[in-house]
Amino acid sequence: MSENEEQIQQTQHAFLVAWGQFAQAKGLTQRIEAVKLRQKNYYHRPQTKVLEFLAAILGGLKQLQEISLAAHPLDKDQAVAEAWGQAGWADYSGVSRTMSGLSWEEAHAIVAELDAFSQPFLNAELELLCKQKKRLTMDGDLTGIPVSNTSTSYPNAAYGHMDDDIQLGYQAGVVSLLTETYGRLWLSGTHHPGDTVSSTQAEALVLAAEARIGLRPLRRTDGLEKRLHEYAPILETVEERLKTQRKAVENAQERLKQAQLQAEERNQELETVQQAYLAHKRPERPTSRLALLHKRVQAALKRQESRKKALDVAQRKLDKTQTRTQLLLKEINALRQRLERFKQENLTNQQPIEAEFRLDAGFGTYENIALLVEMGYEVYTKPHNHKVTQVLRSKVNETTAWTRVGANAEMVAWPNLKLKSCPYPLDVALERFYTGRTLKHSALCHFGHDPVTQDLPAWFNHYNGRQTIEAGIKESKQVFYLHRIKVRSEPAIFLQERMALFAANFIRWAAHWLAEQPQPQQNALDIRKMGVKRQVQVGAHVSAQVIRNSEGMLLKFSEHSAFAGKVLNLPNGGHPPHSKQKF
């Protein structure tokens, strides 16, 4: 670098400087600054504090107050502020007030800009996968974000399953995509109350992913048409049963009416005879007419009660069948609407893709599997109903040949197995795991073109490849502290969730961008060998000199840092240092 007009600053957050330069070079800073926020400007614009909130997440700060109260406060690091195009950072209390004042409309506007910034990177990866004729592999999951069980200040928090326990908090529905260049990238994240369960979210996850990538496979309308056709005899049988049961109710009503008339007539006869006996002062003898009438009245009343019960039974059967019919008609109507929608989507799908979804057992209901099949996906999942595992275990014995698929795992499989209540035949496998002296079993399900039953180790390994999303969730919580909610406003909580997912993508994009910059031969920091966790927990908190001149910027890491003696070249974009901007 030329030493002409060289300016040197100190920073304790070296990688946040580099990421700020990347954000400016690619237009993220400008996008956030352009979002309209209905808050007053004091010392700092609200847009500046939104960027500061993002920088705090990128830096892996556990709590918002660390912006000002950490050993090396972020809000005192002028080099970071200028790298992000800002004259300075606000105190954490100002950031908290701005985030708490965000409306849902403003939070969604900020997320829209994060998505717009991400789109070129995502499009490039999609284009690369399509050019290589590779199938898109997406993983979906629902992750809990717990808060204190005694808290009352988190809006719309609810109790639900989180981290193998019942806790108060929120759920985030997330989808990731496997890419050639960056590995895992987050596609979407949706905010839910804590009582949301996986089985209700499969379609929402898929639609959110499709909206994000702007692509979808051809819908399997032929399978859906066949499924609708198979409903015809079922509906005919139910309607015939309905007709029979209506007739049974009518007969039971008529029989009850006759019993009631008979009981009434015998009561009247009894009253007449009783009056006659009283008038003539005749005693009632065991074999007298009056005694016989008493018995006949009791028999008539008993018959009346019996026929009431018979009517109740007939009515309950009718009500049950009517409910079943209504549900069946509702289901058929929903499938017809789905078929029409899918036909229209196929007509407008100019660039159909091949794609697969991998989901855990929480999503693996038969209806969810059928939906993903009809949406055109290759489906890898586990059955939601644990009874499937029991049924499969009954199919094996001592002579069954098991295939070893892992160090402590074996599998046996059945192709195109028709499971009760599942609309489509599935490839199904039974797994058994040895954990010490314990033997555990579970099941896998697959639908699609892959001949999974012919290569069980490949099936086992491919499904377990969905651990990439579990690793991503772990990263979001252990690196970006998603589970430590920094704000109490729900729009801001939603924004924190989305920024944590965005941060994981952003750092991967920035690492490739930095690796592409011309670097010194001898002592350049090789950022390509650094994972996201090390970049955040180490790189974002090391000290360095920020050296600028007209040719660019250089990060020279201090002798007392983890990267002592290393340097990192950065392009010099954005606002010049110490610029007199009005905020």
pLDDT number for residue 540: 97
**Are residues 418 and 459 part of one domain?**
yes
**Are residues 343 and 226 part of one domain?**
yes
What total number of domains does the chain contain? 4
**pLDDT, tens only, 546-564:** 998 877 889 999 998 999 9
Q: Is residue 372 part of a domain?
A: yes
Mean pLDDT, all residues of the chain: 93
Query: CA 539, CA 60: separation in Å to the nearest integer?
Result: 11
Q: Is residue 121 part of a domain?
A: no
**Which residue in the block uniquely carries the two structure tokens 């926020």?**
37
Q: Is residue 249 part of a domain?
A: yes
Q: Is residue 580 part of a domain?
A: no
Q: Is residue 122 part of a domain?
A: no
**Are residues 92 and 179 part of one domain?**
no
**Are residues 234 and 190 part of one domain?**
no
**Are residues 233 and 191 part of one domain?**
no
**Are residues 535 and 493 part of one domain?**
yes
Q: Is residue 457 part of a domain?
A: yes
**Amino acid, single-letter form, for residue 408:** N
Q: Is residue 213 part of a domain?
A: yes
Question: What's the first-to-final CA gap in the chain, in angstroms?
Answer: 32
- Ranges of H-type helices in 201-220: 202-213
Q: How far is CA 510 from CA 9, 53, 527, 543, in A?
A: 22, 18, 10, 19
Residue ending a domain, choose from 220, 249, 268: 220
pLDDT number for residue 581: 33
Query: CA 144, CA 163: separation in Å to the nearest integer?
Result: 7
**pLDDT, tens only, 96-134:** 999 999 999 999 999 999 999 999 999 999 999 999 999
**What backbone phi and psi angles, to 5 degrees, belong to 526?**
-85, 95
Above 60 in pLDDT, residue 579?
Answer: no
Above 70 in pLDDT, residue 582?
Answer: no
Closest CA relative to residue 87, chosen from 102, 77, 73: 77
Q: For the whole model, what pTM was predicted?
A: 0.88
**Are residues 40 and 62 part of one domain?**
yes
Residue range(s) defining the domain that contains residue 181:
135-220
**pLDDT, tens only, 358-404:** 999 999 999 999 999 999 999 999 999 999 999 999 999 999 999 99
CATH number at residue 294: 1.10.287
Residue ending a domain, choose from 465, 500, 518: 465
**Are residues 177 and 167 part of one domain?**
yes
Q: Is residue 441 part of a domain?
A: yes
Any idea of the CA torsion for 358, 361, 367, 372, to the nearest 10 degrees? 0
**Are residues 159 and 62 part of one domain?**
no
Query: CA 86, CA 73: separation in Å to the nearest integer?
Result: 16
The angle at the Cα of 31, spanning 29 to 35, to the nearest 5 degrees, equals: 115
- Report the DSSP beta bridge partners of residue 442: 431
